[in-house]
Amino acid sequence: MLAESTTSEAIRRRLRWRCRRGLLENDLLLTRFLHRFEQDLSDNFVFGLDQLLNLSDNALLDLVLEREQPEGDLCDPRVLEVLEALRSV
């Protein structure tokens, strides 16, 4: 699933900060996700996560819980890979 890590520590810090969300469910989910995958983040995985973190808390939770399906730019394979990983934690 994840390629060898090429992600710099600065990018990891920025992602950790962006994963802190106002909605407790997202905060817990993203914390578990990073704990599980952070050391192996590929550039593609970072791109996909970044796209998902641009969403509002409610839109992100709806995607993770499969109440909504990805549309438009979110159908990118890199985003779908991250979404699938988020659903697995």
Question: What does each of the 89 residues of the chain score in pLDDT, given as a tens digit?
Answer: 444 445 677 777 777 777 777 677 877 888 888 888 877 788 898 899 999 999 999 999 999 999 999 999 999 999 999 999 999 98
For residue 12, what are its two tokens?
Answer: 């990891």
CA distances from residue 29 to 7, 50, 57, 73 in whole angstroms, order as listed:
21, 15, 12, 22
Question: Rounded distance, CA 65 to CA 67, Å?
Answer: 6
pTM for the whole structure? 0.78
For 60-84, b/e burial (b = at least 16 CB within 10 A) is bbebbeeeeeeeeebeeebbebbbe
At residue 3, the pLDDT reads 44
